[in-house]
A and B are shown apart, each in its own frame.
Chain A
């Protein structure tokens, strides 16, 4: 596997907000098919890091490569078209559309106005939407407005939308926040199943969930990579312990589980 070229590579990426460096010479690379967890205390730059990859933010320095070509200067939609999908920290679904229509928008390989006006969804796509609705248990709600779903249902709908989009690289920001234990477990299973065929990067605070993923962990701190390795190794790294000790809440999260 190591011989493979990285699917995603960040080289010395730095982002500053008014003199505050949210990312400092961040280096990170993902092999194709890898499942990777990213953790870090609040303010470590996790969301900024996703913003840079998906084109929302332009780094002051450094470069981002996807399949060997730079993503800099590309718009969000172009990057999404290249095969990078993103789930947001707080669930973001289209409130005034039904879950089915939410999924139909995500699934479509067609994205120009003319395609949408004159081309319909094919049978395979419809089946996929139906299948995904069943997977996330929203068949009953398929025709209600998504704005009326519960928090957990929205989370699942958004994950389903990400899967429907079928990107090569999935960037998943806090997928289990507000989910029940059973749902959390199912989410972990889902992400594990997706890895291999897809490359998955998960940002999460829930340590039990991360352990469940059995994936290599990258620890971000103050905008750069503090250490990388399997969960057990990272957990015992003195630097990581020190960083997390600074914040009581996170320490509890680590010990709770």
Chain B
């Protein structure tokens, strides 16, 4: 029986990371129909924020408060990722509403930029970047009067962004001459966040060893879920968000500021990615490719859960987590040692983390044959005109 609980606990732990990681994605996709491929990179920003907060605690504050740095990192990560998401919505996603495939490609582009950003950011680079963004946002206003041939007119924005970028690069390389400004903030290699001591132990309960880090993540997940549910169901803005989801033009007519609602939704979804980023620092090292490790799994959760309800996201994530763990760890063999030989070999074949993914994907495709719209499909006449 211990084995059973042990398996269950580990599966749930993996699943809860998935819930946390996919939650923001599900919010943005479910409410706005936007696929954000940069979600993983927003998680990565959250993880880097945790790293920075940890270093600040180490360097500036007395050692006695160090253990709580991870709690402080949560709101900071929410803010950093949320603001990055807000910027993304204001500059890119906004122009692409109603064109989901284009949004997908554009946000992928953003994810590449963010990956390289954390690799190469230095003080000189940051100043150059800020300058470029400022010019890029400002230049079009100066160029309003400039008339171009029709073929080129559509590219005006692009041209001004490219020139802003060139100015930024120029400034950055000038500043880069100064050694101290040229130092990269993070190394291109992976960084390690040291978990505070209280998250490094484990608790024995009913014969099951539960690492406190895992328990912390489960608690954080529950808290995030509760927060999102409360916000969407009870708060004024949450109700506005749901109203816009159900009927955008009607909400517009009723005086709901739909643009603000979009921005807010995106901010919250992105902020949740940041919180997930804090959680994953407890599981492994932090690097530019962190996002890529989670993004496909998160999308599977969204596909499997359907866009109707958050409950779908939770069930899908926990289901995937438990099955991945059970298959990947080969626990089935331990639970049922007297398995027939053929089956036995099959289970062994899939008993690695990556092979478990193969099986899980096959199961998801099979499931979609029965329920194409996921666990909780949207219903009624709103579905596909």
Contacts and interface: CB of A to CB of B under 8 A. Distances in A.
Contacts of B385: 90
Among B379, B381, B385, the most chain A Cβ lie within 10 Å of the Cβ of B381
A18 B381 contact: no
A48 interface: yes
Contacts of A18: 379-380
Contacts of A47: 381
A176 to B, nearest CB: 20
A17 interface: yes
A47 B380 CA distance: 12
A171 B379 CA distance: 25
B250 to A, nearest CB: 14
Nearest to B382: A17
A178 B212 CA distance: 66
Contacts of B379: 17-18
Interface in A38-55: 47-48
Interface residues of A, number: 7
Interface in B362-385: 379-381, 385
Main secondary structure of the interface of B (DSSP, over half): loop
A47 B385 CA distance: 11
A130 to B, nearest CB: 32
Contacts of B381: 17, 22, 47-48
Nearest to A51: B381
Main secondary structure of the interface of A (DSSP, over half): mixed
A206 to B, nearest CB: 22
A164 B385 CA distance: 23
Interface in A1-48: 17-18, 20, 22, 47-48
Contacts of B380: 17-18, 20
A254 B385 CA distance: 28
Nearest to B383: A17
Interface in A123-139: none
A18 B383 CA distance: 13
Nearest to A22: B381
Nearest to A43: B381
A20 B385 CA distance: 19
Among A17, A18, A48, the most chain B Cβ lie within 10 Å of the Cβ of A17
A70 to B, nearest CB: 24
A90 B385 CA distance: 10
Interface string A90-101: 100000000000
Nearest to A56: B384
Nearest to B380: A17
Contacts of A22: 381
A47 B384 CA distance: 13
A210 B381 CA distance: 26
A22 B380 CA distance: 10
Interface in B34-53: none
Nearest to B379: A18
Nearest to A88: B385
A46 B27 CA distance: 34
A48 B383 CA distance: 12
A47 B381 CA distance: 10
Contacts of A17: 379-381
A18 B380 CA distance: 7
Interface string A52-95: 00000000000000000000000000000000000000100000
A93 to B, nearest CB: 15
B209 to A, nearest CB: 45
Nearest to B381: A17
A20 B381 CA distance: 11
Contacts of A20: 380
Interface in A147-193: none
Nearest to A18: B379
Contacts of A48: 381
B277 to A, nearest CB: 37
A18 B376 CA distance: 12
A20 B379 CA distance: 11
A22 B379 CA distance: 13
A40 to B, nearest CB: 15
A90 B379 CA distance: 21
A50 to B, nearest CB: 12
A239 B297 CA distance: 57
Interface in B327-385: 379-381, 385
Nearest to A48: B381
A173 B265 CA distance: 37
A59 to B, nearest CB: 15
Nearest to A17: B380
A174 to B, nearest CB: 14
Nearest to B384: A56
A48 B385 CA distance: 12
B371 to A, nearest CB: 15
A188 B381 CA distance: 29
A20 B380 CA distance: 9
A158 to B, nearest CB: 15
Interface string B154-172: 0000000000000000000
A17 B382 CA distance: 11
A48 B382 CA distance: 12
Nearest to B385: A90
A47 B382 CA distance: 13
A225 B260 CA distance: 45
8 contacts: A17-B379, A17-B380, A17-B381, A18-B379, A22-B381, A47-B381, A48-B381, A90-B385
Interface of B: 379-381, 385
Given A17-B381, A90-B385, 8 more contacts: A17-B379, A17-B380, A18-B379, A18-B380, A20-B380, A22-B381, A47-B381, A48-B381
Which 10 pairs across A and B sit closest by C-beta, in order of nearness? A17-B380, A18-B379, A17-B379, A18-B380, A17-B381, A48-B381, A47-B381, A22-B381, A90-B385, A20-B380
